[in-house]
Amino acid sequence: MKYKAIIFDLDGTIVDSDQIWTQVNREVLSSKGFTLSDKLKKELNCKLRGAGLPKGCQIIKEVANLPESIEDLVKEKQEKASKLYLEGITFIRGFLPFHNKIQKTKLKYGIATNADDLTLDATKTKLKLSSLFGKHIYNITSVNNVFKPKPDLYIYAAKQLDVAPHECIAIEDSQDGVRAAKEAGMFCIGINSSGVRENIKDADFIIDSYDEIDLDRLLK
């Protein structure tokens, strides 16, 4: 086969977490007396998509001119998000049928995500990710907190799967994620779960839903 593995991002690619993070950001800013306009909310959501927690908190701190440290904001967001994940995280539409198709091939598969340990553990608990991916679920802790857009996480995941990066397909939903996959040397499919194709314009192939991926054609 041309490719030997598929490596998925998590938030926005496997799980639908947009509403959770929007709520977390709203609650954090509201608690500081800052209210987002609709325009600023949209701009902020685009900037935060795919960003790791430290980078996202830096953006929020600058936008709202907050006195809190980035470390304190990270902790606050982690606590709020992990609770919401346990309550309402769901799979992206079409992911499970696509995963079933992969299982019928010889492809290896795993997860490489910017998620922190708390939200990843909550997702694993709620959606039983280990039953789908086994031990091949990797986050920033696996690479000493080196976040995408650096390629380290994708390179690490490929190594754990015992596959060369150029033999991997990465599926991503954000600009930073696409950049990380491409810099790792992978073929990148961008899934437009945000509804903003500009975010994933540098992907090799852009889809709006999983049913647009023709596995047979990709693997030949």
Q: What is the pLDDT along the chain (220 residues), one digit of tens a residue?
A: 789 999 999 999 999 988 888 888 888 888 888 876 776 676 777 777 766 778 888 888 888 888 889 888 988 888 888 888 888 899 999 999 999 999 999 999 999 999 989 889 999 999 999 999 999 999 999 999 999 999 999 999 999 999 999 999 999 999 999 999 999 999 999 999 988 899 899 999 999 999 999 999 988 8
Helix (H, G, I), strand (E, B) or coil at 93: coil
Q: Return the pLDDT at 50.
A: 63
Class of domain 5-16+90-219: alpha beta
- CATH number for 18-88 (one of 3.30.420.40, 1.10.150.240, 1.10.357.10, 1.10.10.10): it is 1.10.150.240
Domain boundaries, the chain: 5-16+90-219, 18-88
Predicted pLDDT at 13: 96
Q: The whole model's pTM is what? A: 0.85
Q: CB neighbours of 148 closer than 8 A, spacing ≥ 6? A: 50, 52, 114, 154, 174, 176, 177, 179, 180
**For residue 12, which of 96, 150, 113 has the smallest C-alpha distance?**
113
